[in-house]
Amino acid sequence: MRTMVAHGLYDQLSPPDNEKLIWDGDLRWCCSDTQWDSWPGCEEFDWVVDYLANDNLKRDDKTEGDALLVLSAMRGLGSSSKRPSYIKALIRCMHPTKPPRVRHAAFRAVFDAREELASITTDPTWVRQGVDAKLLNQLSCALLTAVWPNHDQTVHGSAPDATLHKNRDRRYIQLMFTLTEHDEWCQHLTRDDHLGRCISLVDEACNRNWNVMHYLPVIFGRINISPGKDFPFSPAQENWRKVLQKTWQQFNAGDQWWKNDYADTILALVTTTKLNLRGSDDSVLRKWFAELATEVDQAIGNLQSQADDVNGVAQDTVNTAISRAQELRDDLMNHHKGTADL
């Protein structure tokens, strides 16, 4: 198994047991040294899935971790006939009793398959193949265990989990951003308290200036938190102000990290920005409200420039996003002037 995949980082070779390889390794398959864009078909990985999924086999942790790295390089969930058994194997490998390398390699495999995983809820053929809501519920629970073990659980090799692993958590935020694009995934993730995990990462993401911290406010808006109930942040907290303002700035930077869902993402960000918004006579907050209103106004301009290029349902979404963003801009300006208190 260890001879099947080249274990290396972008600038050096790495022993396959190096934890850094799981988070920083560029895991991929190719048919030759000169054809990096030529990938084998997912059916060629079926026997590796069978190895992980066969309950009658005795597997050692080292080989199990190797198999997960091999399958992570697949960048998907495998052939249609193996998807249910592969997802079940990933769930089993993320269990708290598994050693950190196995848990984390399984999480990395899920991360690399995130685009395909997100599409499950919009593709009815997945249900016919055995990937149903019950299995997704189990996967959601397992994902949270892999990155945030409960305090009342006995975790194998708990030391690595006790310390926040920044690369693991950054990939987790990216995974949540992709999955929360779909309402059904939002339901799974909300029920299993992924919201709590994302909230716990705000300060860390801000203090370390993670390049994915602007995903967090969008995730919160998609999950649609009830104002004042589940959300512990407000403009009075400096880190939250930085994260929120940085997100609007990134929106207007033009790098298109939101993919093709500009209007939908704006709606989520508007929802988050309005959470726990309070007027204040504090000069720092007043200045922040004015600066944020300027960013929102720029986003409105970008939306309006796109309005003529879309039709049908997309047009309705753009119009709704423009209207909601205009309301937010006006609210922010009222807070800046000290004339409103939401």
The verdict on 230 and 184 lying in the same domain is no
DSSP 195-240: HHHHHHTHHHHHHTT-TTTTHHHHHHHHHTPPTTTT----TTSHHH
- The verdict on residue 187 lying in a domain is yes
DSSP 33-88: TT-TT----GGGGHHHHHHHH-TTS---HHHHHHHHHHHHTT-S---TTTHHHHHH
DSSP letter at 16 equals T
* Distance, CA of 145 to CA of 305 (rounded, Å): 44
Max Cα–Cα distance, the chain, nearest Å: 70
| Token duo for residue 301 | 């301009």
State how far the alpha carbon of 167 is from the alpha carbons of 128, 142, 150, 235, in Å: 35, 19, 20, 27
pLDDT tens, 285-333?
888 999 999 999 999 998 888 776 666 667 888 889 999 999 999 999 9
The verdict on 262 and 118 lying in the same domain is no
- The verdict on residue 124 lying in a domain is yes
The verdict on 150 and 232 lying in the same domain is no
| Token duo for residue 120 | 């499950």
pLDDT tens, 321-338?
999 999 999 999 988 776
| CA proximity to 126, closest of 92, 93, 82, 91 | 82
Is the pLDDT at 160 greater than 60, yes or no?
no
The verdict on 244 and 103 lying in the same domain is no
pLDDT tens, 97-142?
999 899 999 999 999 999 999 988 777 777 777 888 899 999 999 9
**pLDDT confidence band for 164 (50 / 70 / 90):** very low
The verdict on 196 and 219 lying in the same domain is no
- The verdict on residue 8 lying in a domain is yes
* Distance, CA of 7 to CA of 24 (rounded, Å): 11
Last residue of a domain, one of 200, 223, 244: 200
| CA proximity to 288, closest of 310, 302, 300, 273 | 273
Q: Identify the pLDDT of residue 44.
A: 85
Last residue of a domain, one of 173, 200, 227: 200
Mean per-residue pLDDT, 225-242: 80
pLDDT higher for 13 or 261?
261
Last residue of a domain, one of 200, 225, 257: 200
The verdict on 183 and 36 lying in the same domain is yes
Residue type at 250 in one-letter notation: Q
- The verdict on residue 304 lying in a domain is yes
State how far the alpha carbon of 292 is from the alpha carbons of 8, 32, 41, 246, in Å: 43, 51, 48, 10
The verdict on 146 and 241 lying in the same domain is no
Is the pLDDT at 159 greater than 50, yes or no?
no
Neighbours of 255 (CB within 10 A): 8
* Distance, CA of 40 to CA of 125 (rounded, Å): 23
The verdict on 184 and 240 lying in the same domain is no
- The verdict on residue 191 lying in a domain is yes
Q: Identify the pLDDT of residue 280.
A: 53
Total tally of structural domains belonging to the chain: 2
- The verdict on residue 209 lying in a domain is no
pLDDT tens, 15-70?
777 788 888 887 776 655 555 455 667 888 899 999 999 988 888 898 999 899 98
Contact 220, 195 (CB under 8 A): yes
The verdict on 106 and 253 lying in the same domain is no
**Residues in Cβ contact with 99 at an 8 Å cutoff, skipping those fewer than 6 apart:** 61, 65, 156, 157
pLDDT higher for 68 or 9?
68
**Residues in Cβ contact with 74 at an 8 Å cutoff, skipping those fewer than 6 apart:** 29, 42, 45, 109, 112, 113
- The verdict on residue 208 lying in a domain is no
Contact 121, 184 (CB under 8 A): yes
* Distance, CA of 94 to CA of 18 (rounded, Å): 18
Contact 156, 196 (CB under 8 A): no
The verdict on 46 and 162 lying in the same domain is yes
- The verdict on residue 210 lying in a domain is no
Full domain range(s) for residue 165: 1-200
The verdict on 326 and 262 lying in the same domain is yes
The verdict on 172 and 220 lying in the same domain is no
pLDDT higher for 10 or 84?
84
